[in-house]
Amino acid sequence: MSAADAMLRALANALPEAELPTGVPHLGAAEARLAGGLSALEGETLLTGTDLLLNVELLVAAMGQSAGPESGIAADRLGEHLPEPAAGELVMAGQSGAWEAIGALASGIGLEPHAVITLVDYATRPALRAGARAVRDVIARSRWNRGTCPACGSAPLLAEIRGGGAAGTAERERLLRCGRCLCAWAFPRLRCVSCGEMNHRQLAYLHGEGEESFRRAEVCSTCHGYLKSIAVLAPLDLYQLLSADLATAALDAAALELGFHRT
């Protein structure tokens, strides 16, 4: 097992699944947010600051030496410098992906911003997954047609192409997958996730030799964004999703070299 794969397994298995407070998320409010074009979980407090800091400590312990000294220092210093009110603000920033605010907070207490951003990101993910499961039926009833996650508002990690071939169905469906809360939502195949471009002359694929049908980067010349897509027979679980992203790093390199940016 490679060091990168070991790190992914540690990240995927380090934290227990979250139990949400009673009444959280509020399903009526989630439905109203979706109808207004907002993600279902926006503004919901899914975990406490204390729980966040505990998750940070568990992450560092699970990753061991591979986490690096900065992560251990970050875990200790966050606990020292963030009483509950401030830790609660960090929770909301982590849930919404306000990475600049988290980086500024880290710098303000002498910590390396990237280490803190990564720890807070992964520390909030179990609660986001629990929240996404709670609003799954609400999302299914909505008419969400955006390229961002209907549950937590994050950009998709990648797209799964399901159906056809071995799956036994005639049509192949494109589902976007959120790497943070694991939500999956349908999105038209010939449409840019970033800007909505549907002119096929502006849309193209990057892929390795013989890989076009099962692993590629979908690029848009209008906004210069890209998203990786892979063919699957079944939805990917947490570890599989992270592993698929790592395994397709060559597509990221090719897209970035040509001037595209990740969605």
Please identify which residue in the block is written with the tokens 């694929």: 205
pTM of the model: 0.91
Query: Taking 60 as the threshold, does the pLDDT of residue 25 lie above it?
Result: yes
What's the rounded mean pLDDT across residues 201-218? 94
Q: Count other Cβ atoms within 10 Å, centred on residue 47.
A: 25
Q: Residues 31-52: pLDDT tens digits?
A: 999 999 999 999 999 999 999 9
* Average model confidence (pLDDT) across the chain: 91
CA distance 120 to 259: 29
Bond preceding residue 188 cis, omega within 30 of 0: no
For the chain, the straight-line distance linking the first and the last C-alpha, in angstroms and rounded, comes to 29
Of the candidates 81, 72, 84, the one whose C-alpha atom is nearest the C-alpha of residue 112 is 72
CA angle 171, 240, 75 (to 5 degrees): 140
Q: Exposed e or buried b for every residue in 92-105, given b needs 16+ CB within 10 A? A: bbbbbbbbebbbeb
Decide if 25 contacts 134 (C-beta within 8 A).
Answer: yes
Nearest to 127 by CA among 184, 244, 44: 44
Q: Could you tell me which CATH number the domain at 155-262 has? A: 3.90.1670.10
pLDDT score at 66: 63
Looking at the predicted structure, is the pLDDT value of residue 72 above 80?
Answer: no
pLDDT above 90 covers what percent of the chain? 72
Separation of alpha carbons 216 and 230, rounded Å = 7
CA distance to 57, 162, 171, 232, 233, per residue, from 167 (Å): 42, 8, 10, 9, 6
In SS3 terms, 96-127 reads as HCCHHHHHHHHHHCCCCHHHHHHHHHHHHHHH
- Is residue 147's pLDDT more than 80? yes
Structural tokens at position 55: 């998750």
Query: What DSSP designation does 161 have?
Result: E
Closest CA to 216 of 187, 252, 243: 252
Say how many CA atoms lie within 13 Å of 146 toward its Cβ. Answer: 19
Please give the C-alpha separations between residue 47 and each of 22, 190, 243, 258, in angstroms, as whole numbers: 12, 38, 27, 41
pLDDT in tens, 223-251: 999 999 999 999 999 999 999 999 999 99
Q: Where are the domains of the chain?
A: 3-140, 155-262
Question: Hey, which residues does 196 pair with through a beta bridge?
Answer: none
